[in-house]
Amino acid sequence: MNLLGIADLDSAALDGLLRTAAAYRPLLEEPSAKVDHLRGRTVVNLFLESSTRTRVSFELAGKLLSADVINFGSGGSSLAKGESLRDTVETLSDMGFDAIVIRHASAGVPHQLTGWTDAAVVNGGDGMHEHPTQALLDCLTLQQTFGPDISGLSIAFVGDFAHSRVARSATLAFSALGATVTLVAPPTLLPHDLSPWPARVVHDLDALIDEDPPDVVYTIRPQAERMSEALYPSVAEYVIRYGITDERFARLPARTRLLEAGPLVRGVQMSNAVADSPRNLMHNQVRNGVAVRMAVLATVLDAVPAEWVEGEQ
């Protein structure tokens, strides 16, 4: 089995991954706790684009499942000498591995890998396409905070949707779980085709806060590294219209929580005080990411004992 995107998951598969992640989650509170669900299996983490959270949490997840974990990047490998990605993956396959986690700057590369290896392929983020494990950890964090049924939640993303794989995957996942999603952005930061996005669009963040305040605000970093032209007048202008400033935060209801995938641009997406508020769930998200990645690795390798899926361990 592969995990290439949230778009490929039916509701049973999405629910199964979240239940398995919830079952693994308590392990993270036990010092030196490990399970042997992937003993004798090898996981390759092939990260060809920068990452802190996803790369390290996949490594930790593999180790907590007792897998042998190989971390591989372009630096120091023969990719730097011009070897193709296909030849690299086939070379690693010749040595033998059971699952490969790929992060790449180009959309569709995880799908390509499925033609080059019989191992399970997991998308760790591909260009502007999908980031399925981020969406899963976001769902787990909301279930942990608001209860297992999040179908009544209103979730407002604020920021750059033209370049964000995080927003695309999370919108699909939240919507599949019954939540209502709103995208808040200037027209220049919206994708050209919004038909695959199960969300409404508004441009005025202040009107949303005052007239229809959401349960969750999820800020999406302006992805400057993926922009070929200026899409808003200035950073200061962006903050004035779309930053979660102290003043806007004070106008949100006390129930409202913040999600933030990271890396966070403080002072742009939100103020320092908002970032450090206990209502910002970004640290919970990072921790839940380890449990989610354990669930994903064990699931794609068909190695989750039945009692763990049901959460009865």
Binding site for ligand CP (CB under 6 A): 51-55, 125, 131, 134, 261-263
Q: Rounded to the nearest whole angstrom, what is the least distance from the CB of residue 51 to ligand CP in the complex?
A: 3
Phi-psi region of 60 (alpha: psi -120 to 50; beta: other; left: phi over 0): alpha
- Taking CB atoms within 8 Å and a gap of at least 24, the contacts of 190-198 are 190/161, 190/162, 191/161, 191/162, 196/7, 196/168, 197/161, 197/168, 197/171, 198/171, 198/172
Nearer to ligand CP, 54 or 143 (CB): 54
Q: Rounded to the nearest whole angstrom, what is the least distance from the CB of residue 125 to ligand CP in the complex?
A: 6
Which residues pair with residue 130 across a beta bridge?
A: 126
Query: Percentages helix, strand, coil for the chain, rounded to the nearest 5?
Result: 45, 15, 40
Nearer to ligand CP, 208 or 258 (CB): 258
Q: Rounded to the nearest whole angstrom, what is the least distance from the CB of residue 15 to ligand CP in the complex?
A: 23
Nearer to ligand CP, 54 or 88 (CB): 54
Q: Rounded to the nearest whole angstrom, what is the least distance from the CB of residue 262 to ligand CP in the complex?
A: 5
Q: Rounded to the nearest whole angstrom, what is the least distance from the CB of residue 235 to ligand CP in the complex?
A: 21
Inter-residue contact 143 to 19 (CB < 8 Å): no
Render 227-281 in DSSP notation, one character per residue: -SS--SS-HHHHHHHH-B-HHHHHHS-TT-EEEE-S---BTTTB-HHHHTSTTB-
Q: Rounded to the nearest whole angstrom, what is the least distance from the CB of residue 285 to ligand CP in the complex?
A: 8
Nearer to ligand CP, 176 or 261 (CB): 261
Nearer to ligand CP, 101 or 261 (CB): 261
Nearer to ligand CP, 124 or 214 (CB): 124
